[in-house]
Amino acid sequence: MPWVPHYLRRGVRQWFGATRFWQENEFFIREFRHFPNIAIAAILFALGSAAFEGFGFGFLLAFLQSLVSPTLEPFQTGMHWFDVWILGIDRDATERLLRVSGLILCSAWIRAGFNYLTQIYTELTQQTLVDRLRTQIFEQLQSLSLSYFNRVSSGDLVNTLTNEIGRLNFAFTLIAFIITKGLTLTVYAVLLFTISWQLTLTSLVLFTLVAVCLSNVNERVRNSSVDVSRANAQFTATALEFITGIRTVQAFATQEYERDRFYEASSNIVKAGMKAIRQFAIVRPLAEGLATTVLISMIVLAITIFVKQGSLQTASLLTFLFILFRLVPAIYEMNTSRVQLLSATGAIRNVRELLAREDKPYLQEGDRIFTGLHQSIEFFTVDFGYDANHIVLRDVSLSIPKGKVTAIVGGSGAGKTTLVDLIPRFYDPSAGYVLFDGKDARSFTVKSLRQKIAIVSQDTFIFNTTVRENIAYGLTNMTDEQIWQAAVQANALAFILEMPEKFETILGDRGVRLSGGQRQRLAIARALLRDPEILILDEATSALDSESERLIQQSLEQLSKGRTVITIAHRLSTIMRADQVVVMEQGRLVEQGRYQELLERQGRLWHYHQIQHEMRSSEKA
Ligand SMILES: Nc1ncnc2c1ncn2[C@@H]1O[C@H](COP(=O)(O)OP(=O)(O)OP(=O)(O)O)[C@@H](O)[C@H]1O
């Protein structure tokens, strides 16, 4: 249609493009099927409220008629019993006026009751929906592979779970408002049609034009909302990094640098927010101005044509205008809500993207239950890369026998941690297999496999709860005696008893109140209590004092007894008694054998041995 101006065509497209909303939000609208009763109750109460609003206006028409033209035939509903018994059409004008006043009052109170119930049930629907979305995000995060967490920022995730869910909550309030207002508007429309279909059609055409004009402005609001979401996510990420990395910030005296980053992130929110509000603020005055213009045009039209012709009674015109006066603010309130809803688009998109399944890495679940290791864990021609272009493990074949200690040695970045991370299936190989007694690790359920494995490393996570709960983490049926025994064997009892509340002492965020050695001994106690069959030890890289090292070594020996142990060793002194030593370089396995054998071969292990020997000699000197 080339004769239609460009802006008008765009407006029409955008107005009807509102249906895109239903496609974009299908993911959470479908959630309602899980609690249909609450949602249906909310809609029924809203319908009740709208219906009584309608009755109110009907009675108003009757009231005005009795007031303005008492001699004319009184207003009738067509239901004989109602017209006679309730409206009292056979009574005089004053009595009819009083009866109708009473009916208007009753309608108003019943409507108020329905409004109250609508609010309660809408809030209930909203809270249930948001609760479901939060738990779905949690389930989604639980089922994702670690590689997903490597590539997204934790700030973004926290932001989606808190801010964006909050904005989505607000979006739902708006949807509920639009639905309830929509119902009221439908009742208004029916009443208006009954009074004068000509005037109603004219208003409809004029209001559609207003809506089309407003759609252009609405689109800009939608775009600026995405910027607000982005600025919020950036800010949360910056704040989170500053808090979690506070030790590094202080150690490097980078407070100025962090301050600049923080201030910038904060002022970006202000800028994005101001841009959005500038777009948003224009909507309401514009809508009001346009709507008032339409309204005045309607009054002039009605008086000059219909009333003069006598096709409309004064009481009907007054009621028509009264409803129109109620209708106009309701329309721009609805439009404001629609625009506010557009401003939540960014948040809704973020939640939808986080819940989408197509673009995310999941761990493939097997259906076998891993009941225990009988012979060995085998790496068979394993390749692995965190991304397709960067191979970290190349053609690794290795046998880890049951009940023996296998030590992995190699330079920094050689791939030791990556190799052991394939055992509990933190990642799966890009090529080749990890086999448990000849069966592919992927054929077991992840839970049954991980229940048989424990990992002890220096960066074991300490939760902000008591010592007792940290040791028994995830195990609910442990007795005090068992926890005490684990602490004894891990050489942790002495320092726990020195704490103010002993086993009940709260350890602070990430265990900041513990030394590196203490943290590791708690990790050992935690592993002891789980009684794992397969034990993965990632030895501390930072130097511990010799007393602490001796205690840890002792407790590790306790822990290793009778288990299949894979240990990443940085100090060669700790692995002399290992059953086999594996040396890795640049993702390849370059040497394998007993410690003494490898030394005698004078290969890579001998080389590392020499370096550590020289370092110790120079330290002593
Ligand atoms: N989460 C990750 N995402 C991407 N690349 C990673 C990740 N973790 C490790 N890498 C890369 O993989 C390679 C091997 O790392 P890995 O941590 O396995 O080595 P390592 O032998 O354990 O080193 P170190 O003794 O220093 O801990 C390195 O090049 C490292 O940059």
Asked whether 366 lines ligand 1 (CB < 6 A), one says: no
Query: What is the residue extent of each domain of the chain?
Result: 11-196+343-359, 376-619
Nearest CA to ligand 1 atom 25: 412
Asked whether 392 lines ligand 1 (CB < 6 A), one says: yes
Residue of 151, 392, 394, 420 to mutate, ligand 1, most atoms within 8 A of C-beta: 392
pLDDT digits (tens, 9 = 90+) for 411-437: 888 899 999 999 999 889 999 999 999
Tokens of 127: 């809270």
Higher per-residue pLDDT: 217 or 255: 255
What percentage of the chain carries pLDDT values higher than 70?
A: 90
Alpha-carbon gap, residue 402 to 286, rounded angstroms: 76
Nearest CA to ligand 1 atom 17: 417
Residue 153: DSSP 8-state: -
- Give the ipTM of the model, two decimals please: 0.96
pLDDT digits (tens, 9 = 90+) for 500-526: 888 888 887 665 677 777 888 888 888
Nearest CA to ligand 1 atom 28: 413
Asked whether 150 lines ligand 1 (CB < 6 A), one says: yes
Instruction: Please give the full DSSP string across 259-309, using - where no structure is assigned.
Output: HHHHHHHHHHHHHHHHHHHHHHHTHHHHHHHHHHHHHHHHHHHIIIIIIHH
**CA of residue 535 to ligand 1 center, whole Å:** 20
Pick the CATH number of 376-619 from 3.40.50.300, 3.40.50.150, 2.40.110.10, 1.20.120.160: 3.40.50.300
**CA of residue 454 to ligand 1 center, whole Å:** 20
Asked whether 148 lines ligand 1 (CB < 6 A), one says: no
Specify the pLDDT at position 557.
Answer: 75
Residue of 534, 601, 543, 540 whose CA lies nearest to 566: 534
pLDDT digits (tens, 9 = 90+) for 158-171: 888 888 888 888 88
Specify the pLDDT at position 616.
Answer: 66
549 burial type by CB count under 10 A (0-12 exposed, 13-18 middle, 19+ buried): middle
Average pLDDT over residues 614-619: 67
- Give the Å distances, CA to CA, from 497 to 478, 484, 506: 19, 11, 13
Specify the pLDDT at position 377.
Answer: 93
Q: Which atom of ligand 1 is nearest to the CA of 412?
A: 26
161-162-163-168 Cα dihedral, nearest 10 degrees: 60
